[in-house]
């Protein structure tokens, strides 16, 4: 009997989302317009390769505004910042460019609106994640964080009839719904956000992996360990039936033993991952006999976001 054909199921959509594309372009355009160095508060997106590439081009990544020289240009990352961060930048006379993804800004606006209407807000998200810190900073007195179903018991509200849940944009859809279901048993009048907070890109990448995983022995996810949506893709793959799932930044991190006995390998990437890194993994797999590649498409994506207004204004003034 001949050996089974080794194959790759390549998820689509995968990789860059509209918010990441905009944030990376913002840094590149700012470097071209103002010249290096350009300061970036926090990683512009959670991907090692992207950060390294922009560093090589003249971006300096800092943790806080006080590391940026007075009067210099600073870009805020795609994950968003609390209002206090804008104020710090103003006080230091920094030229601030806000690369917050518009879909994160949407959650900030929801938080501000519900807080102003007297609601308690239960934010479902991961403690310490930059996006969560930024969103909570919009209304710290009204927001409490719940990091999964286990955190629901500790939730306390002023008025059970005025409570809304919001979420981080990059969570597991299924786990978030499990948290909401548990919240509802405790707070039957819980209000849902006006539209999905988990963004289209997160949902689409999870759906693609969910559909291909049952056919896969192994699912490889290209992404960094601090990338929430990438880490979720590994979990979704295993939950959906893949024998194993692994997260790698680069092809050379794939261990030969992961592929032992594997006929079908699933492949995808997080929303902050350039596709060249996925192509490197395909080349790595092809060298090991996985030459049959089928793209597994579950959704089309056409969304794009324009660059931040403050950058566009300066580009226009410079005739660019």
Q: Give the residues lining the site for ligand SF4 (CB under 6 A).
A: 17-20, 78, 101, 103-104, 169-170, 199, 201-202, 229, 271
Quick one: 81 or 104, whose CB is closer to ligand SF4?
104
Quick one: 8 or 82, whose CB is closer to ligand SF4?
82
User: Which of 17, 100, 128, 81 minimizes the C-alpha distance to 309?
Assistant: 100
Q: 221: part of which helix (H) or strand (E)?
A: strand 218-222
Quick one: 201 or 240, whose CB is closer to ligand SF4?
201
In whole angstroms, the minimum distance from the beta carbon of 46 to ligand SF4 comes to: 9
Give the span between the Cα atoms of 132 and 167, in whole angstroms.
Answer: 9
Residue list for the binding site? 17, 46, 79, 101, 129, 169, 199, 227-229, 272
Residue list for the binding site for isopentenyl diphosphate? 46, 79, 129, 227-229, 272
Tokens coding 242: 């893949």
Quick one: 13 or 245, whose CB is closer to ligand SF4?
13
What SS3 class is residue 300?
coil
Residue list for the binding site for [4Fe-4S] cluster? 17, 101, 199
Residue sitting closest to ligand SF4 (CB): 19
Give the span between the Cα atoms of 89 and 78, in whole angstroms.
Answer: 17
In whole angstroms, the minimum distance from the beta carbon of 201 to ligand SF4 comes to: 4
Q: Which residues pair with 97 in a beta bridge?
A: 75
Please state whether beta strands 264-269 and 292-297 pair in parallel, antiparallel, or not at all (unpaired): unpaired
In whole angstroms, the minimum distance from the beta carbon of 173 to ligand SF4 comes to: 13
49, 73 Cβ separation under 8 angstroms = no
* Contacts with 249 (C-beta within 8 Å, 6 or more apart), sequence order: 47, 48, 49, 222, 223, 224, 277
Active site members: 131
């Amino acid at each position: 009997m001949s050996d089974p054909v080794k194959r790759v199921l390549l998820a689509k959509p995968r990789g860059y989302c509209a918010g990441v594309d905009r944030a990376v372009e913002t840094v590149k355009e700012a470097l071209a317009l103002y010249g290096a160095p350009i300061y970036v508060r926090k990683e512009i997106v959670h991907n090692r390769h992207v950060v390294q590439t922009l560093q090589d081009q003249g971006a300096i990544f800092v943790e806080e505004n006080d590391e940026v020289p007075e009067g210099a240009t600073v870009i805020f990352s795609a994950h968003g910042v609390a209002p206090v961060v804008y104020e710090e930048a103003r006080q230091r006379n920094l030229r601030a460019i806000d690369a917050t993804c518009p879909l994160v800004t949407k959650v900030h606006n929801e938080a501000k609106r519900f807080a102003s209407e007297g609601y308690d807000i239960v934010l479902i998200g991961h403690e310490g994640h930059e996006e969560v810190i930024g969103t909570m900073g919009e209304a710290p007195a009204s927001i409490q964080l719940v990091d999964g179903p286990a955190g629901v018991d500790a939730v306390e509200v002023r008025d059970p009839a005025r409570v809304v849940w919001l979420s981080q944009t990059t969570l597991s859809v299924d786990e978030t719904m499990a948290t909401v279901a548990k919240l509802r048993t405790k707070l039957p009048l819980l209000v849902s956000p006006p539209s999905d907070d988990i963004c289209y890109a997160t949902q689409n990448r999870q759906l693609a992996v969910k559909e291909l995983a049952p056919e896969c022995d192994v699912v490889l996810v290209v992404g960094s360990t601090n990338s929430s949506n990438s880490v979720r893709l590994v979990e979704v793959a295993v939950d959906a039936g893949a024998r194993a799932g692994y997260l790698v930044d680069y092809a050379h991190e794939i261990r030969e033993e992961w592929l032992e006995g594997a006929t079908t390998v699933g492949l995808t990437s997080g929303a902050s991952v350039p596709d060249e890194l996925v192509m490197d993994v395909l080349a790595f797999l092809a060298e090991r006999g996985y030459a049959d590649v089928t793209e597994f498409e579950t959704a089309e994506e056409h969304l794009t976001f324009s660059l931040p207004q403050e950058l566009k204004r300066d580009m226009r003034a410079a005739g660019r």
